[in-house]
């Protein structure tokens, strides 16, 4: 889940749900509950999909304490920002927002400001002691402690809890779907990460890996379907390493088994998942996907680099050949599956030849879209401690531009190959360009825009014939 507040995205149209792409989401679509006599909170989320899922957990915790959501910062009693530390740019964005919130605090004394998530975990007391812009700092595993911290802050006591847990999964908390379109929802299946990629801060900000009770996940999916949702995305830093042991019989539920259990909730419930790690992506998972039509034919399989030496420096624990083997397995078992990726350019000591290995990998894997970044050294990571960030910034950016240019070409080619094909599309809502058009995604996670017809609504499935395509969007007509 290597997504910051403004990554370079190619192959993803603006039509697609913003909360799925790691963009800042200001909860403008929040269904504000009754606020008469109660306190209101406003929340912004940045970063990966897990952060947006966590914000829904935070909203549920606050709702239990009588807080109602608002889409307007100016009418809130509590302002929260759920942060990302994956890249320096993400942290800079958060600091700018905090300065804006500080102006609001000066205008309305009594308003509280809290920092949540990975940046809270990484910088800890610095927010309270040095920057003095916030009242509350809460790490990803301490959201249950929010009511106590808020109460203390109301009495003038700065509050902090960044304790990383080995057990917390929030399995018993039903997320409050604040910004939901009523069609698609996230389900967090695990927390933390054990992979220790040398460039990544996640193991230090989200702690060790632990999996959530499988039955609570399936129950949440069933409840969402009963509420009218027609698509769920199973979330984890590395979903393929999901492993939960049933305390009653000792049976260990793997990700493949969990995926099938979720698919069996109802054939009308689409199932997606993110993110996969190449070292853990098994043929068993692919065969389960092939067995169930409602498991979407789309896999986000981050490569990061196409060169084995760089992959070793990144501690990705696979090489180029292993990754290509996973691509070949997907093509063999799921021939209609779309694959997307994360790519980093200019990692420590990367040469031009090694950069070209990444370009050739992109061509071979035929990614439908990618999240692309120039390497950004993060303090405290193994890469920052062991390697010199020696690729000049202008070289990083030039290589990134080459990656972007190639992905643009591949995405367009990928989409043009769909012209003339018919796809089953789940209607998600109106197109952003026109209220006379619907938007919806097919199984391959491609957004399709098509003219409306009477009697249809978000949550309905329709068959759409693709008539034309851009590098980001398919355009079609219902058939």
Q: Where are the beta strands (DSSP E) in 101-158?
A: 112-117, 136-138
In the chain the first and final C-alpha atoms are separated, in Å, by 36
φ, ψ of residue 224 to 5 degrees: the values are -60, -40
Residue 190 falls inside a structural domain: yes
Could you give the CA distance from residue 297 to residue 443 in angstroms, rounded to a whole number? 5
- DSSP letter at 145? G
Residue 24 belongs to some domain of the structure: yes
Residue 8: the pLDDT is 39
Identify the CA nearest to 232 among candidates 264, 174, 185: 185
What average pLDDT does this structure show over 67-81? Answer: 94
**188-197, pLDDT tens digit by residue?**
999 999 999 9
- In this structure, the strands spanning 298-300 and 270-274 are unpaired
Q: What percent of the chain has pLDDT over 90?
A: 77
The C-alpha torsion from 466 through 471 and 472 to 474, rounded to 10°, is 0
DSSP state for residue 128 in the 8-state scheme: I
Where residue 328 sits, what CATH number does that domain have? 3.80.30.20
Residues 263 and 412 in one domain: yes
Give pLDDT tens digits for 349-373. Answer: 999 999 999 999 999 999 999 999 9
The residues, any chain, with a CB within 8 Å of residue 412's CB and separated by 6 or more, are 469, 470, 471
Residue 173 lies in a domain: no
Domain boundary among 416, 437, 455: 416
Please state the φ and ψ torsions of residue 304, each to the nearest 5 degrees. Answer: 70, -50
Predicted local confidence at residue 131, as pLDDT:
60
Domain extent, residue 346, equals 184-416
DSSP assignment of 19-86 equals: GGTT--B--TT------TTS-EEEEEE-SSHHHHHHHHHHHHHHHHTT-EE-S-GGG-SEEEEEE--S
- 237 and 277 share one domain: yes
User: How big, in percent rounded to 5, are the helix, strand and coil portions of the chain?
Assistant: 35, 20, 45
Q: Is the domain of 408 the same as that of 427?
A: no
Residue that finishes a domain, picked among 379, 396, 416: 416
- Residue 335's contacts (CB-CB under 8 Å, 6 or more residues apart) are none
Q: How far apart are CA 313 and CA 382, in angstroms?
A: 10
**154 and 288 co-located in one domain:** no
Q: Is residue 6 predicted with pLDDT exceeding 70?
A: no
Same domain as 198, residue 138: no
Q: Do 137 and 233 fall within a single domain?
A: no
Rounded Cα–Cα distance for residues 270 and 229 (Å): 9
Other beta carbons less than 10 A from residue 66's beta carbon? 10
Last residue of a domain, one of 416, 441, 458: 416
Residue 172 inside a domain? The answer is no
CA 82 to chain CA centroid, Å, is 13
**Alpha carbons 6 and 12: distance in angstroms, whole number:** 13
Q: Does 228 share its domain with 370?
A: yes
Q: Are residues 153 and 239 in the same domain?
A: no
Residue 275: inside a domain: yes
At 193, give phi and psi (nearest 5°).
-155, 140
**Residue 89: what pLDDT?**
79
pLDDT of 130 reads 60
CA-based torsion, 343, 346, 348, 353: positive or negative: positive
Q: Considering the domain boundaries, does residue 169 fall inside one?
A: no
In a domain, 405, yes or no: yes
In a domain, 463, yes or no: yes
* C-alpha separations of 9 from 6, 35, 215, 417, 474 in Å: 9, 38, 35, 20, 17
What total of structural domains would you count in the chain? 3
Of 43-52, 454-463, 469-478, the poorest mean pLDDT is in: 43-52
- Please, are residues 447 and 11 in contact by the beta-carbon 8 Å criterion? no
The CATH number that applies at residue 435 is 2.40.50.140
Instruction: Give CA–CA dist 326/345, Å, rounded.
Output: 22
113 and 243, same structural domain?
Answer: no
CA dist., res. 175 & res. 58, Å (int) = 8
Question: pLDDT by residue (tens digit) across 129-185?
Answer: 766 789 999 999 999 999 999 999 999 888 899 888 989 999 999 999 876 789 999
- pLDDT digit string (tens) for 236-254? 999 999 999 999 999 999 9
What CA–CA distance (Å, rounded) separates 169 from 66? 23
Q: Which helix (H) or strand (E) holds 428?
A: strand 422-430
* Eight-class DSSP state of 144: G
**How far apart are alpha carbons 190 and 213 in whole angstroms?**
9
What does the alpha-carbon distance between residue 154 and residue 302 come to, in Å, rounded to a whole number? 44
**The predicted structure's pLDDT at residue 7:** 35
How far are the Cα atoms of 273, 288, 303, 446 from residue 285, in angstroms, in the given order?
11, 5, 18, 21
Same domain, 238 and 349: yes
360 shares its domain with 260: yes
Do 40 and 65 share a domain, yes or no? yes
CATH number of the domain encompassing residue 75: 3.40.50.12160
């Amino acid at each position: 889940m290597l997504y910051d507040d403004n990554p370079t995205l190619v192959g993803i149209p603006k039509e697609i749900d913003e909360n799925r792409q790691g963009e800042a989401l200001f909860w403008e679509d929040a269904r504000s509950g009754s606020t008469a006599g109660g306190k209101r909170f406003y929340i912004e989320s940045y970063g990966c999909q897990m952060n947006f899922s966590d914000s829904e957990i935070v909203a549920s915790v606050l709702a239990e304490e009588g807080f109602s959501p608002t889409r307007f910062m100016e009418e809130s009693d509590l302002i929260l920002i759920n942060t990302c530390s994956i890249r320096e740019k993400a942290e800079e964005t958060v600091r700018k927002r905090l300065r804006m919130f500080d102006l609001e605090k000066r205008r309305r004394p009594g308003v509280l400001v809290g920092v949540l998530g990975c940046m809270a975990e990484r910088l800890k007391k610095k927010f309270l002691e040095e920057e003095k812009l916030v009242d509350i700092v809460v790490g990803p595993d301490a959201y249950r402690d929010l009511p106590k911290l808020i109460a203390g802050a109301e009495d003038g006591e700065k509050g902090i809890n960044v304790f990383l847990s080995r057990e917390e999964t929030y399995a018993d908390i039903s997320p409050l779907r604040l910004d939901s379109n009523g069609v698609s929802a996230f389900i967090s299946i695990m927390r933390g990460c054990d992979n220790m990629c040398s460039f990544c801060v996640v193991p230090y900000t989200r702690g060790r890996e632990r999996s959530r009770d499988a039955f609570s996940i399936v129950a949440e999916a069933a409840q969402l379907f009963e509420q009218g949702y027609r698509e769920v995305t199973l979330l984890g830093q590395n979903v393929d390493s999901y492993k939960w042991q049933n305390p009653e019989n000792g049976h260990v539920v793997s990700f493949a088994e969990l995926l099938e259990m979720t698919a069996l909730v109802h054939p009308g419930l689409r199932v997606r998942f993110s993110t996969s790690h190449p070292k853990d992506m098994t043929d068993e998972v692919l065969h389960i996907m092939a067995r169930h039509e409602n498991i979407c034919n789309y896999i986000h399989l981050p490569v990061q680099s196409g060169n084995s030496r760089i992959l070793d420096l990144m501690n990705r624990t696979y090489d180029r050949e292993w990754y290509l083997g996973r691509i070949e397995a997907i093509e063999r078992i799921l021939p209609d599956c779309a694959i997307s990726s994360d790519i980093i350019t200019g990692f420590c000591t990367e040469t031009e030849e090694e950069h070209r290995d990444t370009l050739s990998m992109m061509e071979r894997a035929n990614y439908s879209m990618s999240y692309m970044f120039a390497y950004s050294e993060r303090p405290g990571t193994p890469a920052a401690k062991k390697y010199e960030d020696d690729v000049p910034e202008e070289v990083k950016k030039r290589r990134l531009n080459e990656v972007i240019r190639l992905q643009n070409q591949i995405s367009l080619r990928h989409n043009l190959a769909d012209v003339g094909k018919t796809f089953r599309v789940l209607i998600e809502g109106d197109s952003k360009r026109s209220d006379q058009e619907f938007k919806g995604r097919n199984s391959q996670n491609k957004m399709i825009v098509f003219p409306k017809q009477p009697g249809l609504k978000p949550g309905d499935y329709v068959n759409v014939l693709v008539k034309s395509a851009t590098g980001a969007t398919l355009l079609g007509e219902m058939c």
